[in-house]
Structure 1
Amino acid sequence: MSTNTLPSFLEKYFEGLTLSPALFYSWKYSIRFEISDPLISSHEKDCLNQAFHRSITLFHRVFEEGDEILFITDVHTTNKDRFLQKRPLNVYLKYIKDKQRLYQLNHHCVPSVFQDEDEDEDDDQSLTHRYVLSCKKTELRYAQLLKAINYEDFAHPSTILKSNSQSSYDIYFINL
């Protein structure tokens, strides 16, 4: 995959869209799914089980075995944070089946996706590390990854960046 795949794909199919949270509100055509029943307390086991089931079901509906997927992780941190320079990103080590694929992982830093356009860039110390891997569904441990993402939403002690609590992240799957 070339480093240009993500920007050129977004420009071709989603002109003007910036990949940032809350993505649902950034585009005129969107579908939003409740991942769990809002009437059930997030501390109940049924709520987390329902979230696991729904997220895996949605993933199966969106991605077929042969589809080319862009697996994107944005890690939001500060310019001074050296954690990502010392340690590899757990999300890719744990959830990619073939570790040789990690050599094709594309990394670059972009200005923080949360930066206000009116702010002076020199004053903002935040930074987004963007990791992009082109892969197939069969190359991912997607069920385990989706569970880990759900754990984040339900304040579970198992977190993807547990060793770097000052950073946050967003994960996107794009079906090319």
Structure 2
Amino acid sequence: MTASISEFLHHHYPGLALGPGLFYCWPIGLRFDLQAAGTTSDDAYFTGVTQRAVTVFEAVFLPTDLVLIVVQRSRYTRWYRRWRFRASNLVLRLLHACKQEVQFSRLANRTRFANTAQLIRFTLERQAADIPYRQLLPAISHQDFPPRTPRLHDDVFFVNIRSGLVLHMYDDRGLDVIGPSTKALQPIYQSHQHLLLDYDREQMDATFACSV
């Protein structure tokens, strides 16, 4: 049975609304710069973005970790097609998910960048080794660049049940990882200094340097 994301958040992140801008919504987090050399018209740019995202993903999740995959979308009542997730959704297809193992829900939109009153969400559980992240992460990076495919516009959060870490890649520019404690994130902060976003480096240093 899929674990409850609501119970997980209540235990590890009380008061947090899962949404974009995680780094700015929780005091313990890292923000990574995914942008590679070149321009968005070059294949090499997106190859570099994917390589950086994969590097961080593999630092956050061991192959044996149980992971909650949480997919969210703003619910626009004017457009019927956006009221629900279709079976053709890229995440559902790549994970070969059956209806019985997926938790669907609607909830109030309390996210930092709320532009609607409601969100729709689905959650399912997989072992990290069984997640096709090398396909999902590029799809997220393509969201603003048609005709590149596949493209994924939904917000996707990867939740590590063992460590409590939450990873959210927001687009080709960057990726956030938050943790319930500095201890949980300290090793990644130390080993991936070269990928941290310089714009927020001062805040990250203030959080983690004093916890050494």
For 1:68-102, what per-residue CA distance to the aligned partner results, in whole angstroms no more than 9, with x for missing partners?
10101001131243225483251233320x444x4
Which residue of structure 1 lines up, in the alignment, with residue 102 of structure 2? 105
What is the aligned-residue identity percentage?
Answer: 23
Unaligned runs of 5+ in 2: 162-212
Equivalent residues in 2 for 1:76-87 (5 A)?
76-83=74-81, 84-85=83-84, 87=86
- Structure 1 pair 68–2 and aligned structure 2 pair: CA distance change class (3 A): closer
**Kept after mapping to 1: 8 A contact 2:74/2:120:** yes
2 CA distance for matches of 1:27 and 1:125? 22
2 CA distance for matches of 1:142 and 1:86? 20
1:25 and 2:10 matched: no
1 CA distance for matches of 2:9 and 2:88? 24
Which residue of structure 1 lines up, in the alignment, with residue 89 of structure 2? 90
1:171 and 2:159 matched: no
2 CA distance for matches of 1:115 and 1:52? 26
SS of the residue 2:135 aligns to: helix
What is the CA-CA distance between 1:116 and the residue it aligns to?
8.4
2 CA distance for matches of 1:2 and 1:144? 23
Unaligned runs of 5+ in 1: 118-123, 162-167
**Kept after mapping to 2: 8 A contact 1:79/1:127:** no
1:73 and 2:71 matched: yes
Aligned residue among 54, 59, 62 for 2:60: 62
**Kept after mapping to 1: 8 A contact 2:21/2:112:** no
Which residue of structure 1 lines up, in the alignment, with residue 180 of structure 2? none
2 CA distance for matches of 1:95 and 1:41? 28
| 1:8 alignment partner AA | E
1:138 and 2:137 matched: no
For 1:23-44, what per-residue CA distance to the aligned partner results, in whole angstroms no more than 9, with x for missing partners?
111011111110113x632223
How many aligned residue pairs are there? 159
What is the CA-CA distance between 1:137 and the residue it aligns to?
1.6
**Kept after mapping to 2: 8 A contact 1:95/1:142:** no
For 1:135-154, what per-residue CA distance to the aligned partner results, in whole angstroms no more than 9, with x for missing partners?
1123222211111111115x
**Kept after mapping to 2: 8 A contact 1:71/1:135:** yes
2 CA distance for matches of 1:136 and 1:10? 19
TM-score (norm 1): 0.77
TM-score (norm 2): 0.65
SS of the residue 2:5 aligns to: helix
What is the CA-CA distance between 1:18 and the residue it aligns to?
1.1
What is the CA-CA distance between 1:126 and the residue it aligns to?
4.3
